[in-house]
Amino acid sequence: MLRALSLSIGQLGDPAFLKVLGKSLALTLLLFAVFGVLLYFGLVWLFAWLGWGQGSGFVAAAGAVIVAALSGGLLFRVIAIAVIGLFTDEIVDAVEAKHYPDQRARAVRASYTTQTRVALGSVGRAIGWNLLALPVYIVLLVTGIGTVAAFFIVNALLLSRDLGELIAVRHVPRPAWQDWLRSTRGRRMQIGLVAAGLFVVPVANLLAPILSAAMAAHMLHRQR
């Protein structure tokens, strides 16, 4: 795991990595901006419907900022992984070109349709499982750190699945996905824990999607 992380960090200056970083950050910020604008107008409509006319614009703006800030941790992870899912093939191709040329020669490039389907599946799982875990998060608030720990574990599990699928689309035949996911559960969980940790560290969270995808590629090929 540490070897995979160090190799991934060492390749951050690769032009392919920098290109994907620029595209993924731009698209992530754009989606966040769209979410903020929609949230603002949604609150304006709600306040107007409730008859709160005076000052509703300011309250809606403040509410949108607060909601975005409170949900930022989950939303950033969801959006970032979904976005990087669209560009994973470029990251994995760069990793394989440098470290695993034989595997690269045998790889099957995933179509954007497949990558989009996998990315949307990741979004659905992230939202669904975190909503299911919400009562647990609330109950654990009294412990001080329990909510953070539960959130970390749930999202580490989700990331281990997401990152596995992002690599499987390139190297594992679709009928064999489930068997492959079972056989790599331990290694993927290690990557998921590291990725979840990167997502909560300021600045590092901006690089987390790219590093996570690169680590997953190393995990797959080093296992083989």
> DSSP assignment of 190-219, as one string?
HHHHHHHHHHTSTTHHHHHHHHHHHHHHHH
Residue 56 scores a pLDDT above 60: no
Domain that holds residue 215: 2-223
Look at the chain and report how many structural domains it folds into: 1
Query: How does pLDDT run across 120-150, given as a tens digit for each residue?
Result: 888 888 888 888 888 888 888 777 788 778 8
pLDDT given at position 58: 63
DSSP 111: P
CA 61 to CA 70: how far, in whole Å?
14
pTM passes above 0.85: no
3-class SS shares of the chain: helix, strand, coil, % to 5 = 90, 0, 10
Q: Tell me the CA end-to-end span of the chain in Å, nearest whole number.
A: 14
C-beta separation of 65 from 43 below 8 A: no
Handedness of CA 114, 184, 203, 38 (dihedral sign): positive
